[in-house]
Structures are given as C-alpha cells and as structure tokens.
Amino acid sequence: MTDRTIKFSIKEEHEKEIRESLQAVYNALKEKGYNPISQIVGYILSEDPTYITTYNNARSIIRRVDRDELLQSLVKNYLDL
C-alpha cells in the first residue's frame, strides 16, 4: 500500500469519453463508405441523427454526447488548449 494520493480528474475522463465516442462514430462512418467529417459536421449543425449510421451503434454513441460539449471539446482541441 502506498501513502501517495492519486489525482483523478473527472473533466479529463469526460474528454477521453468524448474522444473515444467520436472516434468510434468516425470509424463506423468510414467503414460504411461515408465521408465521416461531412456526416459529423452535418449532425453537429442540424442535430439530425440520420447523418450518423446505425452501423456499430454509431448513432446511439453520438447521441450520448451532448452536442454543446462536443463542440467545446472540438474547439478546445483544435486550439490546443
């Protein structure tokens, strides 16, 4: 047993979940022959889930992520913040 305290960040864990979800959706779209970037952008702009395939539960996965949080995460990562 160690006396060291382990630091855990819920925010970092949530960012990781968003990243993994987006990657899974991207992969499913790509495997089905879609342009993943265009489809994901279409979903983000319209919030219409039909932009995302049901293949590999991609549509269910993307709908678990709040759209505002997804946008915040994308901007944050784009700007390397």
Tokens of 59: 């549509």
In this prediction, residue 50 carries a pLDDT of 96
In this prediction, residue 8 carries a pLDDT of 58
**pLDDT confidence of 7, banded at 50, 70, 90?**
low
Give the whole-angstrom CA distance, residue 45 versus residue 7: 36
In this prediction, residue 45 carries a pLDDT of 94
Torsion of CA 58, 59, 61, 67, to 10 degrees: 130
Q: What is the mean pLDDT of residues 35-56?
A: 96
In this prediction, residue 10 carries a pLDDT of 66
Give the whole-angstrom CA distance, residue 69 versus residue 42: 16
